[in-house]
Amino acid sequence: MKKITVFVLSIVALAGAASAQVVVPQKDFTNNCDNYKGQLITIKDVNLRPKQAVTAITVGAPATVTVGSGSTKNVVASCKVIKGQKSIDVDFPTDPNFAACFYITDALFSSLPIAQETIKSTIAFKGQKSTGFFITGLVK
């Protein structure tokens, strides 16, 4: 019941924020993420990988993510998780080299089908590359 409630609330939040947000193509965001600094934006068809917590990224673009036992090449920044949030790996199929810190609330994270390696989703988020992006809603 808790997962259903969280899922419904996330959809309501996503729908409520739809009038104030911009739907951005993946490539536009990954090529110019600083143009969307602080704006609530939506991106379709990204891949979430909840089993792999992102621990560090490079600040420059394009970036190489260090995931679990992955490569540590060019790592210069840590993804510092805030209480009540989890880091989550977000892959952009149109630009697999793009990396940034993405955070999701514990409640939204627990609504994800964790058994799946990859979850194709539409996400709404805001933030900036230097401090990270906070996912405020998702549709699976």
Interval 32-55: pLDDT, tens: 988 999 999 999 999 998 876 565
pLDDT of residue 50: 84
What is the rounded average pLDDT of the residues 21-32? 89
pLDDT of residue 138: 87
The sign one gets for the Cα dihedral 27, 126, 45, 18 is: negative
Q: Tell me the Cα Rg of the chain.
A: 14
CB 10 within 8 Å of CB 111 = yes
pLDDT of residue 13: 60
Confidence of residue 57 (pLDDT cuts 50, 70, 90): low
CA distances from 59 to 18, 19, 98, 128 (A): 29, 31, 10, 11
Beta bridge partners of 90: 48
CB 25 within 8 Å of CB 72 = no
Confidence of residue 66 (pLDDT cuts 50, 70, 90): very low
pLDDT of 76 higher than 50: no
Confidence of residue 2 (pLDDT cuts 50, 70, 90): low
Average pLDDT, rounded, for the chain: 77
Contact residues for 73 (Cβ-Cβ < 8 A; gap 6+):
64
What is the rounded average pLDDT of the residues 53-69? 50
**In whole angstroms, what is the distance from residue 45 CA to residue 122 CA?**
5
pLDDT of 4 higher than 50: yes
Cα dihedral: 51, 25, 16, 133 (round 10): 50
